[in-house]
Structure formats: C-alpha cells, structure tokens
Amino acid sequence: MIKEKDLVMYSRSTGCPFVTLAKRVLDDYGIPYREIFIDEDMVARERVKHWTGFYSVPTLVIAYPGQDTPYEPPADIDIGTSPRGVNRGTMITEPNIIELTEWLRQHELIKDKDHV
C-alpha cells in the first residue's frame, strides 16, 4: 500500500447510471478524485479498453500522485469477461455501492465504516 495516492475515475461526458452512482458515493464521503473522459481523450479510451476489454465506465484506479494509471498492475480478468464490480486490487469497474465502498475502504479512502 502506498501512502500518497490519487483516485482517478475514467468516465464519459454523457450520462451513465454507474458514473452517477460512483460520483454520489465519492461526494457523500468527500473523497477527491480526478475525472478523465474517455469520449474526449482517445488515449484514455484505449487504455480503458485494454484494461477491461470494453469501454467500461466508470473505471476507477488508485494511482501515484499526478499519474493516470494504477500504481501497480490490476489483477487480470479473462478476455471477454465482464469487469463489472470486480475488485482488481488497484482498479474497479462499474461497481455498485457496496463494491465501491468496500474497495475505497481497502485503499483507506474511507475510514468510517458506519457512514452513509
């Protein structure tokens, strides 16, 4: 575990229920994050496709400060398998509320287990 870390959320500029949910959780906990829009940044778009096999948003990663990629490689998933809700260590894609809050706790971005 690194002490200094950034949360980066790969997203898109158009509406998406999973992105809305992730933003609500992050805002409820007051967790800062940087958002990268894959429909505006083709390098980011291809990065998400490489990581997940799809253009899946949100894809959230734990990165070194100022970086856009996970500080260590995420756990592999089988090609063609949905990444939805899979905790890959430094990455999670399209999580539900429980999956996201547990992942944020794992990375010590949430310390209060009783909040929300």
Phi–psi pair at 13, nearest 5 degrees: -80, -15
Residue-level length of the chain: 116
Q: Is residue 42 part of a domain?
A: yes
Give the pLDDT score at 29: 95
In which order are the strands placed within the sheet that holds 6-11?
34-37, 6-11, 59-63, 91-93
pTM of the model: 0.91
Give residue 88's domain range: 6-106
Q: Is residue 19 part of a domain?
A: yes
Q: Is residue 94 part of a domain?
A: yes
Task: Give the max Cα distance, the chain.
Answer: 39
Q: Is residue 115 part of a domain?
A: no
Query: Does residue 113 carry a pLDDT above 70?
Result: no
Number of independent structural domains in the chain: 1
Give the pLDDT score at 72: 95
Q: Is residue 73 part of a domain?
A: yes
Can you tell me which residue has the tokens 């990455």?
91
- Return d(Cα 10, Cα 44) in angstroms, integer: 8
Contacts of 93 (CB under 8 A, 6+ apart): 51, 52, 56, 57, 58, 59, 60, 83, 84, 85, 86
| Alpha-carbon distances, residue 62 vs 22, 33, 39, 55, 70 (angstroms) | 15, 10, 21, 18, 5
Query: Does residue 5 carry a pLDDT above 80?
Result: yes
Give the pLDDT score at 2: 46
Q: Is residue 1 part of a domain?
A: no
Q: Is residue 112 part of a domain?
A: no
Mean pLDDT of the chain: 93
Query: Does residue 115 carry a pLDDT above 60?
Result: no
Give 27-63 pLDDT, tens digit per residue: 999 999 999 999 999 999 999 999 999 999 999 999 9
Alpha carbon 86 to chain centroid, angstroms: 11
Mean pLDDT value across residues 8-25? 96
